[in-house]
Amino acid sequence: MKTHLRAVLRSGKFIVGFTIFAAILLLVFIYPLFNPGNPLQMIGYNSFTKPGTYVSLYDSLDTRRVYTFRPPGAADVRIDAKLSPEDRESIMEWLLSYSEQEGLGLTERDIDIEYTEGLMALWWQYYDSEIRLDGMTIARRREFERLDLRLDGLFNLDDLHVMALDPETGEYDILFATVSDDDYVNVDDVANVIYLPLGTDGFGRDVLKQLVSAIGTSLWIGLIAGSIATAIGLTLGLISGYIGGIVDDIVMFFTNLITVIPGIVLLILISYSISQLERGPVTVAIVIGVTGWAWTTRSVRSQVMSLRNRDHVNLSKLSGHSIPKIIVRDILPYIASYVVMAFILQISIGILSEATLSMLGLGPSTTTTATLGLMLDWSIMKSTAHISGAWWAYYPVILAIALISFSLNLMNTGLDQVFNPQLRD
Amino acid sequence: MSDTKQLCLSGKGVTKVFGHGKTKTVAVDNVDFEFYSGDLISIVGESGSGKTTLIKMLLGLTSVTDGEIHFMGQPRDIKTRHKKKEYWKGIQAIFQDPYSSYNIFSKIDTVLLDCIHMRGGRRLPKETKTEMMREACSFVNLKFDEMTNKYPFELSGGQMQRLMIARIFLLKPKILLADEPTSMIDACSRATILDFLLKLRDEVGMTIIFITHDMGLAYYVSDTVFIMEKGKIVEHGSANDVILNPKAPYTVQLLNDIPKIHDPWEFSRNRREVSDAG
């Protein structure tokens, strides 16, 4: 056992998988300490706010601690920040396809993407959000709309006058602030700052906070589903493998029955038959666990069948031990490592199944808890995140699911290599 | 001599068939045997001759397809778990491979304690149990105090097999089935194991059924020899009769397979004689 443990700790795959998994777990436990509160609280009314640091505009103007920098080429820096090389490429792409559609005769040589004024002149001359180019997706069109809005007033260097309404005359004449393009505010001086590393989702909720809570819930679902599936699979596998005969036939009949029905169909039918309100994360986990034990049963059974005629089992029989005692003492320890591996894989399957069910709207009831699957569901629910360009609402979720199942599978493979001498490299 | 001896295990028409239809294999074919108590009986045959299957049936680990087995003059009854346990108090076994005979997760103490418990010593004081285990270990020249809290796989093959004999010593069954107990261990330990088996018979009064493929060994240790070929007993009788005066061609062949160190020419000449005779 000790040598096995040492081998596990030397297995590169296991260590990588374990490190990723431990990091995810650590995030789940530590992040709420720094950012407490309800993860599903709507912090803003707008859907899909971009990731970043948000400072209150009012408070920034009101700090009275404005630093006037005069960095060389301040205007160029500002333009570069607003118009990235990718944006320039996009503009050229749009112009070329527009000219092709309208027969303007613009070629790549006519457009110099390094010459900002020329490029923007062309853009403002031709671009209109109403224009539909052939073969352009809605998502791409929305992207150009957003780009156009962002580029509005790109070359404007006039001072910005902020006026306030005079309550007596009813006119805007009290000068609140004058801001020139050289004025900067230190973020630390601004009273109201909101950090949204992953922006908000379609309901104006902090995605990162939601994601951390969702990973926690999904891991729980995986753990419960995995435990149930492994417990059922192990018990049935041990019984049918050890006792054999008619018991084996009956157990294998049901196992084969469940194996031939695609798991997803069974999951959908059972989930659908439970009402939306009663479907909490635990219920969903139980449903996943109850439908996912078949292959564990099969593999445990075959392992037990190869063990039950070994001499040490015969010796135990000759010592007058009862069947439960033989199973617990002479069979179970020999397949324990295998069961641990199956358990890890079942957790991963549980998490993926939950995500699948929730994407179909059959997951845990919405608005009370966040799970990884529900987050994906939400991102396609209201105004589709993909079309709004809100990658932050679903990419991190996909990445989290991928990382969790990757780390679990890696640990599984690592353990397999340690416990299965034929696979050792 | 056999008149005074009591019949302890006998079988009539014992048959074991694996599978059915085209895959049908007859492992043990209509075998009759009578084993008398106090004897050391050898069952000799090559691999696949059905020795181990016969042993498994005698132990009640495999079901008997056909035939009857009588134990101590009574038809054997092992239908319930309780009756099986009673049966196993009277008949025990040592297996071929000491390395796979032990549960690698149980300590040596557990192995021996199980035997004491089986003999109904569950309520004995701890000191008595320890004393019994110490006695059993010293019977096979093992030091019990060095082995407590050790696992069986930490011992050598010979030591493991001796521990197996210590186990039998504690259980004191009437019949011991030894399934090639010396084939997996080195030659030096082999003699020791055989000596302990003989000691078990002489001091405890056990009937020992010794399975082997080695005719020389069978001649050296046994009173009665049964020769098995392809599931059938082809010849049986006292060791002297069978080995010095073989009748079945298979027995002659087995005898010729004993390697003779000093006389390779004699060995090959014997071979030729067999083919001439056949």
B196: CATH = 3.40.50.300
Residue whose tokens read 């379609």: A202
pLDDT attached to residue A184: 82
> E-strand spans in A180-257?
183-185, 193-196
Please give the order of strands across the beta sheet that includes B25-36. Answer: B25-36, B7-18, B66-71, B74-75
Residue of B nearest to A333 (CA): B105
pLDDT attached to residue A61: 80
How many angstroms separate the CA of residue B107 from the nearest CA in chain A? 12
Mean pLDDT value across residues B164-171: 90
Query: Is the Cβ pair A316, B103 closer than 8 Å?
Result: yes
Residues from chain A that touch B175, judged by Cβ atoms under 8 A, are none
Residues from chain A that touch B115, judged by Cβ atoms under 8 A, are 319
Residues from chain B that touch A318, judged by Cβ atoms under 8 A, are 59, 61, 88, 92-93
Residue of B nearest to A318 (CA): B88
Cβ atoms of A318 and B92 closer than 8 Å: yes
**Which among A318, A329, A333 is the nearest to B93, CB-wise?**
A318
H helices of A294-371, in order, are: 294-307, 311-318, 323-326, 332-359
Degrees, nearest 5: CA angle A346-A352-A358 = 130
pLDDT attached to residue A424: 55
In a domain, B11, yes or no: yes
In the three-class reduction of DSSP (H, G, I as helix; E, B as strand; rest coil), residue A345 is classed as helix
pLDDT at position B277 over 50: no
Mean pLDDT value across residues B248-256: 81
pLDDT attached to residue B1: 43
Residues from chain B that touch A329, judged by Cβ atoms under 8 A, are 103, 105-106
Mean pLDDT value across residues B133-157: 86
Determine contact: B81 vs chain A, CB below 8 A: yes
**Which among B81, B100, B106 is the nearest to A310, CB-wise?**
B100
Query: Is the Cβ pair A329, B106 closer than 8 Å?
Result: yes
How many angstroms separate the CA of residue A333 from the nearest CA in chain B? 7
Give the integer Cα–Cα distance in Å for B53 and B28.
7
Cβ atoms of B118 and B203 closer than 8 Å: no
pLDDT attached to residue B264: 54
How many angstroms separate the CA of residue B68 from the nearest CA in chain A? 21
Cβ atoms of A168 and A178 closer than 8 Å: no
Q: Which residues contact A368 (CB under 8 A, 6 or more apart)?
A: A40, A280
End-to-end CA distance of chain B: 35
Mean pLDDT value across residues B131-155: 86
CATH superfamily, domain at A2-42+204-423: MetI-like (1.10.3720.10)
Query: Is the Cβ pair A318, B88 closer than 8 Å?
Result: yes
Mean pLDDT value across residues B146-171: 87
- Split into its structural domains, chain B has a count of 1
Optimal mutation site among A4, A315, A335, A337, interface B, most CBs of chain B within 10 A: A315
A11 residue type, one letter? S
CATH 1.10.3720.10 maps onto chain A at: 2-42+204-423
Residue range of the domain that includes B53: 2-101+174-277
The percent of residues in chain B predicted with pLDDT above 90, rounded, is 0
**Which among A311, A319, A333 is the nearest to B114, CB-wise?**
A319
Query: Is the Cβ pair B61, A316 closer than 8 Å?
Result: no
Tens of pLDDT along B189-224? 888 888 888 888 888 888 899 888 888 888 888 888
Residue of B nearest to A1 (CA): B105
In a domain, B58, yes or no: yes
In a domain, B244, yes or no: yes
In a domain, B218, yes or no: yes
Determine contact: A165 vs chain B, CB below 8 A: no
Cβ atoms of B142 and B162 closer than 8 Å: yes
pLDDT attached to residue A423: 59
pLDDT at position B276 over 50: no
In the three-class reduction of DSSP (H, G, I as helix; E, B as strand; rest coil), residue B92 is classed as strand
In the three-class reduction of DSSP (H, G, I as helix; E, B as strand; rest coil), residue A216 is classed as helix
A13 residue type, one letter? K
In a domain, B251, yes or no: yes
Q: How far is CA A390 from CA A39, A164, A225, in A?
A: 19, 35, 32
Q: Which residues of chain A have pLDDT under 50?
A: none
In the three-class reduction of DSSP (H, G, I as helix; E, B as strand; rest coil), residue B262 is classed as coil
Determine contact: A245 vs chain B, CB below 8 A: no
Give the integer Cα–Cα distance in Å for A342 and A258.
18
Burial of A69 (0-12, 13-18, 19+ CB in 10 A): exposed
Q: How many C-beta atoms surround the C-beta of residue A105 within 10 A?
A: 8
How many angstroms separate the CA of residue B98 from the nearest CA in chain A? 9
B26's tokens? 């007859």
In a domain, B12, yes or no: yes
Q: How many CB pairs under 8 A join A and B?
A: 48
Determine contact: B102 vs chain A, CB below 8 A: yes
Cβ atoms of A408 and A17 closer than 8 Å: yes
Query: Which of A 320-339 lie inside 8 A of B, CB atoms?
Result: 320-322, 329-330, 333-334
In a domain, B162, yes or no: no
Cβ atoms of A211 and A375 closer than 8 Å: yes
What value of ipTM does the predicted structure carry?
Answer: 0.85
